[in-house]
Structure 1
């Protein structure tokens, strides 16, 4: 983890430059953030541009650090073009899911690369299922798939209970994007990691069951 390929450097630089432009220019921020009403009026550029804006420096730093730690896993195994497909595909799918869940909330808005970054995280877990994560507040390594599943279960909880000013649905949609696109690009995983594919699918299935039941 942590080796930066050129494409990762470009994406991080774009996030930093555009986010800081938004920090100091509210009209720019307002013009390119994700907003349901504006998108429904035809401003589809927001589906992409919102992924390069952030609410504040802490939000930007968290997303870029997460990307920094997991991007090289995807780039090393699949290559930079496939990495880009997963990143931008996850960003768009995350925003599509958010649009679906908030289609009747005209003023709903959001920003951040979280959907794209969560897609890269899920892709990395699929590609390297034996990977473990260390957190400063937990002194033992945690299997990455446990973190991934737990994160999506928390996202479902956050969506259901509207916890915080966080786009939980975009995070979840990004994970779905990373999951589907990675399996499309790396079909050999069905032979080498079938159990992991099944485990990571569980929270995705749960989300749509709860939506069908009207619980979310």
Structure 2
């Protein structure tokens, strides 16, 4: 039986184990979560990465890992590994890890002088993966808990971006919508850099498809 190595599953396993460990160790949770003030004033730059592997609670973890598995396997095995055999795992790893880092930069700049602010979770990296998938598969049908009827991926992406921008400005729900937004934008930019023809592919699928 052939066993295919999956970096997506590796990320999921590490994230689950790290989250479980942090839940049992409040001191580790505090040390690993993103705190822009401590990054700026104590040079704790590792938080840009560690914060992406821990979650607030079980639902937060479950939601992100389901999304990562659903879209990560597709991007890893059916896009990057097909376009660039031998380099697919590396490209997917860069997409996810750098997505986590980049998505936290606006939060860092916004809150670096506020010691009270903390954030955590893989949402930035997951958003990067989801939007990379959307760019390559704009007509794929996607659903969501608030959208029971599947809609084209590009429309889902547009609604998601608008919602993230709106909630980022509104605030008050203790969710880092900036990370969602900038993670998504990074996923798009990274995909275009890695495979420039994806822009024409995206447009041709939208114009040639139907909602």
TM-score of the pair, normalised by structure 2 = 0.86
In the TM superposition, residue 39 of structure 1 has moved relative to its aligned partner by 0.5
2:208 maps to 1:180: no
Kept after mapping to 2: 8 A contact 1:116/1:174: yes
Query: Which segment drifts farther, 134-143 or 6-15?
Result: 134-143
Query: Residues 45-101 of structure 1: CA distance to partner in whole angstroms, max 9, x if unpaired?
Result: 000000001000110000000111111221111122211111011111101121123
Structure 2: gaps (5+ residues): 81-87, 207-211
Query: Residues 4-44 of structure 1: CA distance to partner in whole angstroms, max 9, x if unpaired?
Result: 85101100000000000011110000011100111102000
In the TM superposition, residue 195 of structure 1 has moved relative to its aligned partner by 7.0
C-alpha distance 48-138 of structure 1, shift in aligned 2 (>3 A): closer
Give the aligned partner of residue 65 of structure 1: 66
Query: Residues 131-162 of structure 1: CA distance to partner in whole angstroms, max 9, x if unpaired?
Result: 11134665532111111111111111111111
In the TM superposition, residue 179 of structure 1 has moved relative to its aligned partner by 1.0
SS in 2 for 1:110: coil
Which residues of 2 match residues 6-25 of structure 1 at below 5 A?
6-25=6-25
Q: Distance in 1 between matches of 2:44 and 2:192?
A: 31
Which residues of 2 match residues 52-201 of structure 1 at below 5 A?
52-75=53-76, 76-78=78-80, 79-135=88-144, 138-194=147-203
Kept after mapping to 1: 8 A contact 2:37/2:111: no
Count residues with an aligned counterpart.
194
Task: State the superposition RMSD in angstroms.
Answer: 1.9
In the TM superposition, residue 163 of structure 1 has moved relative to its aligned partner by 3.4
Structure 1: gaps (5+ residues): 198-216
Q: Distance in 2 between matches of 1:95 and 1:113?
A: 10
Q: Distance in 1 between matches of 2:51 and 2:195?
A: 28
TM-score of the pair, normalised by structure 1 = 0.84
Query: Which segment drifts farther, 15-24 or 156-165?
Result: 156-165
Query: Residues 96-120 of structure 1: CA distance to partner in whole angstroms, max 9, x if unpaired?
Result: 1211232332321100000000000
Q: Distance in 1 between matches of 2:118 and 2:72?
A: 27
In the TM superposition, residue 190 of structure 1 has moved relative to its aligned partner by 2.8
Q: Distance in 2 between matches of 1:95 and 1:87?
A: 13
SS in 2 for 1:27: helix
